[in-house]
Amino acid sequence: MTQVRLEALEAALARGVPPLVWIHGDEPLLVQEAAQSVRDALRAAGFGERQVFDGGRGFRADALLAETGSLSLFASRRLIELRLTARPTREIGQALGTAVAQLGEDTRLLVSGPRLDRTSTESAWFAAIERAGFVVPVWPLERAQLPQWIAARLARQGQRADRATLEWIAERVEGNLLAAHQEIGKLGLLFPRGELPPEETRAAVLNVARYDAFDLVAAMLAGDAARALRSLDGLRAEGEAEPLILWAIADALRTLLRLHEARRAGRPQAQALREARVFGPRERSFVQALARLDEDTVRAALQRAARTDRMIKGIDPTDAWHGLEILVMSLAGAPTLAEI
């Protein structure tokens, strides 16, 4: 199965749609839009019939197999879709392998759903269908890419904004591309084509940013102290559990430590990253952090994380959120007002 980058999907589809296209990722808007690109390409190629299976509770793999093995009711070219709501089970994977093997020339299969983990991609059933078509991994949009992504969306509706306005919008929609899509569409309704008026635009865009612990870690590793603090404040406002935040930070620190040890042992960085299971956009964040945070700093941060854990458990009387802030700011490269 050919891995196809999201930005190269339309060009790949223009050369022909293979029997199977599997789109997987944790950004629903981008997964939906990639799936629509496949539908559009097939419609242009004469695939006029479409049947959709919901892969949630109650899904029967034998029903999918019966459909892929049958002739079209209208004797037309058709698309069969499977929309997964969770990572595929072994039963679903084996059914897809059988389905691909029995697809006729006039039938295509589109699978979309959450990111495939290593257990899935290294399974026997996945190997059985790997030559059938395209696999399209959809990675979360990095924060640094968000202003340009917004600018591209505005351009589609004939609008543009200055850099400061794009950055301001990005802060308000970070971590929530579905809401960002809605806000950009709203700007298309509120304002005419051309340059957006900065003040009116700021008044119109809602604060729909959402944060998770991994956004915080990405900002921390990148040395973006302002964004890291904004993420931490957002997590606190949303009621995120302190242990989950600390776990994400400590897990990143342990990974950094393993990468430092691998470097000291003379192993190539690419090999060390693979062994640490650092893939995709995370690679750049960890490479940046390796250059900025030496091994002693990482070890000291792990000790600080252990003390923060005692705060969370109530063993240390210091406020746990204050401990998390000091830990995050020290790793993001910001001066702190007080040590813990």
CATH T-level assignment (fold) for domain 213-332 = Zinc Finger, Delta Prime; domain 3 (1.20.272)
Q: What is the pLDDT of residues 7-25, one digit of tens each?
A: 899 999 999 999 999 999 9
Q: Which of 177, 73, 64, 76 is CA-nearest to residue 111?
A: 64
**What integer is the mean pLDDT of 102-130?**
86
Give the C-alpha separation, 127 to 46, whole Å. Answer: 30
Indicate yes or no: pTM above 0.75.
no
Q: What is the CATH number of domain 143-204?
A: 1.10.8.60
pLDDT band for position 338 (50/70/90)? very low
Q: Residue 317 above 50 pLDDT?
A: yes
Q: What residue spans of 103-224 are helical by DSSP H?
A: 118-121, 124-129, 146-156, 163-173, 177-190, 198-204, 213-222
The dotted CATH code for 2-138 is 3.40.50.300
Q: Between the CA atoms of 109, 112, 118 and 122, what dihedral angle is there, to the nearest 10 degrees?
A: -10
230: pLDDT strictly greater than 90: no
Mean pLDDT, rounded, of the chain: 87
pLDDT value at residue 1: 54
Instruction: Give the tens place of pLDDT for each residue, 263-287.
Output: 889 989 888 888 888 877 788 889 8
Query: Mind listing the pLDDT tens digit for each residue in 51-101?
Result: 888 887 778 888 888 887 776 555 578 899 999 988 888 888 888 888 888
Q: Is the pLDDT of residue 336 over 60?
A: no
Encode pLDDT of 288-306 as tens digits: 899 899 999 999 999 999 9
pLDDT digit string (tens) for 192-221?
A: 999 999 989 988 887 777 778 888 898 899
Rg of the Cα trace of the chain? 23
- Residue intervals of the chain classified under CATH 3.40.50.300 are 2-138
The DSSP-derived string for 23-35 is EEES-HHHHHHHH
Assign residue 159 a region (left: φ > 0; alpha: ψ between -120 and 50; beta: otherwise): beta
Percent share of the chain, pLDDT over 90:
39
- pLDDT at position 132 is 81
Alpha-carbon distance 199 to 108, whole Å?
Answer: 48
Q: Which residues belong to CATH 1.20.272.10 in the chain?
A: 213-332
Confidence class for position 340, pLDDT limits 50, 70, 90: very low
CA dist., res. 236 & res. 229, Å (int): 11
